[in-house]
């Protein structure tokens, strides 16, 4: 075991002291989500990054029926995986799109390196290498939650390779640290992530993502995340998660939305209250962050070619809460802003 992780053995003992029910429920998966069923075949892209060999799991789903010659790249959120795009992959494929759904480094079926300098620029570069290897020169991006921050960074970094940009309840519509949310160290994030449980995930997502509502089909995604965390890669998964949280908090894209030049769609569930660090923010700070019913409108005004579609009453993942309504809106916009090739 590396010095980095071995120094955290006391933290592992602490997590073992949690109530038995927190870890007894649900399955456990391997460090690269071995044992969890994906909706389509998972392939692996091997590449070198920061002096080490890594691999990205991804799904490459061909157009079903008549292909339109266009590709859509899906970028998942922090508590999500490529698999959680299952209904979106089907809807897009049925509409004639080739769909690429990668798991970013540090997530799900991809490598969990012990040492890695996480940045949205690096994750964008990793994804760009994957697309190049697949022969995709231009694509439309669909990013959800943290994937919205990544998709925005990708579009800023490789604008000539992005035809359209669609963001689903992206976090990063505000700069939490500038608004007074306290900073957590990576060590503090790590201690927090070691204690992750299915009960805790479900409670957080119900209250923050879905305005107190819950659907039975969401339990599969809770088991996915909790099972990854409590499996044999427990410490490794938690360490990477801590590094990723630090990246999210410290690398805002908020100040660059006005630099986006391609057609951009904001798909916003207005009941979402997600805001990184709100659990430790002072009451007066917590009261003013995470208001997606306001944030969507504000950011749409800063993007030159923006379209805002709101889903009143829906939460952080409208594509999962009301997939038919969501995909109807998404596909109508994709077709309307179809770039001339």
Question: Count of H helices and E strands in the chain?
Answer: 14, 8
Band of pLDDT at residue 332, cut at 50, 70 and 90:
very high
Average pLDDT over residues 322-329: 98
Answer whether residue 312 shows pLDDT above 80: yes
Domain span at residue 326?
3-336
Answer whether residue 1 shows pLDDT above 70: no
Answer whether residue 2 shows pLDDT above 70: no
Average pLDDT over residues 165-185: 97
- Strand 139-144 vs strand 162-168: parallel, antiparallel, or unpaired? parallel
Q: Express each pLDDT in 98-131 by its tens digit.
A: 999 999 999 999 999 999 999 999 999 999 999 9
Cα separation, 77 vs 207, in Å, equals 17
The side-by-side arrangement of strands in the sheet containing 162-168 is 43-49, 52-61, 98-102, 71-75, 139-144, 162-168, 264-269, 306-311
The total number of structural domains that make up the chain: 1
- If you average pLDDT over every residue of the chain, what do you get? 92
Cα separation, 125 vs 18, in Å, equals 39
Cα separation, 228 vs 230, in Å, equals 6
- Strand 139-144 vs strand 264-269: parallel, antiparallel, or unpaired? unpaired
Cα separation, 275 vs 208, in Å, equals 9
Q: Which residues pair with 71 in a beta bridge?
A: 98
Inside any domain, residue 183: yes
Cα separation, 136 vs 131, in Å, equals 5
Cα separation, 266 vs 275, in Å, equals 17
Q: Express each pLDDT in 218-253 by its tens digit.
A: 999 999 999 999 999 999 999 999 999 999 999 999
Reported as type and span, the H/E element at residue 234 is: helix 234-250
CB 151 within 8 A of CB 141: yes
Burial state string for 285-316 with b = 16 or more CB within 10 A and e = fewer than 16: bbeebbbbeebbeebbeebeebbebbbeebbb
Q: DSSP letters of 35-64?
A: TPPPSS--EEEEEEETTEEEEEEEEEEPPS
Inside any domain, residue 153: yes
pTM beyond cutoff 0.85: yes
Average pLDDT over residues 79-98: 98
What does DSSP assign to residue 205?
A: I
Closest to 59 measured CA to CA, from 92, 87, 29, 89: 89
Tokens of 133: 């290897």
Inside any domain, residue 341: no
Give the residue, 11 or 53, on which the prediction is more confident. 53
Closest to 319 measured CA to CA, from 99, 84, 96: 84
pLDDT the model gives residue 22? 38
Band of pLDDT at residue 26, cut at 50, 70 and 90:
confident
pLDDT the model gives residue 337? 78
Band of pLDDT at residue 264, cut at 50, 70 and 90:
very high
CATH number at residue 249: 3.40.50.1820
Answer whether residue 270 shows pLDDT above 60: yes
pLDDT the model gives residue 21? 36
Average pLDDT over residues 149-165: 98
């Amino acid at each position: 075991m590396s010095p980095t992780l071995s120094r955290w053995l006391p933290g592992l003992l602490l997590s073992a002291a949690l109530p038995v029910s927190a870890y007894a429920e649900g399955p456990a998966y391997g460090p690269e989500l071995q044992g969890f069923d994906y909706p389509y075949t998972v392939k692996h892209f091997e590449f070198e990054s920061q002096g080490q060999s890594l691999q990205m799991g991804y799904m490459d789903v061909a157009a079903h029926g008549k292909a339109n010659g266009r590709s859509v790249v899906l970028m998942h959120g922090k508590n999500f995986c490529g698999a959680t795009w299952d209904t979106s992959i089907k809807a897009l494929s049925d509409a004639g799109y080739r769909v690429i759904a990668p798991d970013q480094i540090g997530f799900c079926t991809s490598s969990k390196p012990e040492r890695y300098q996480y940045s949205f620029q690096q994750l964008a570069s990793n994804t760009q290498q994957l697309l190049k290897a697949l022969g995709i020169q231009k694509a439309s991006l669909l990013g959800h939650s943290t994937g919205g921050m990544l998709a925005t960074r990708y579009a800023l970094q490789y604008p000539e390779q992005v035809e359209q940009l669609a963001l689903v309840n992206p976090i990063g519509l505000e700069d939490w640290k500038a608004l007074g949310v306290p900073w957590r160290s990576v060590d503090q994030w790590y201690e927090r992530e070691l204690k992750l449980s299915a009960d805790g995930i479900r409670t957080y997502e119900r209250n923050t993502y879905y305005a107190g509502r819950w659907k039975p089909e969401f339990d599969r995604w809770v088991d996915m995340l909790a099972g990854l965390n409590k499996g044999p890669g427990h410490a490794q998964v938690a360490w990477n998660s801590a590094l990723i949280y630090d990246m999210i908090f410290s690398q805002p894209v908020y100040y660059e939305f006005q630099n986006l030049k391609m057609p951009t769609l904001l798909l916003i569930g207005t009941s979402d209250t997600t805001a990184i660090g709100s659990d430790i923010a002072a009451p007066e700070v917590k009261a003013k962050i995470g208001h997606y019913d306001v944030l969507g409108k504000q950011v749409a005004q800063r993007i030159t070619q923006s379209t805002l579609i709101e889903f009143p009453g829906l939460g952080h993942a409208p594509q999962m809460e009301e997939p038919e309504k969501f995909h109807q809106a998404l596909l109508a916009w994709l077709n309307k802003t179809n770039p001339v090739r």
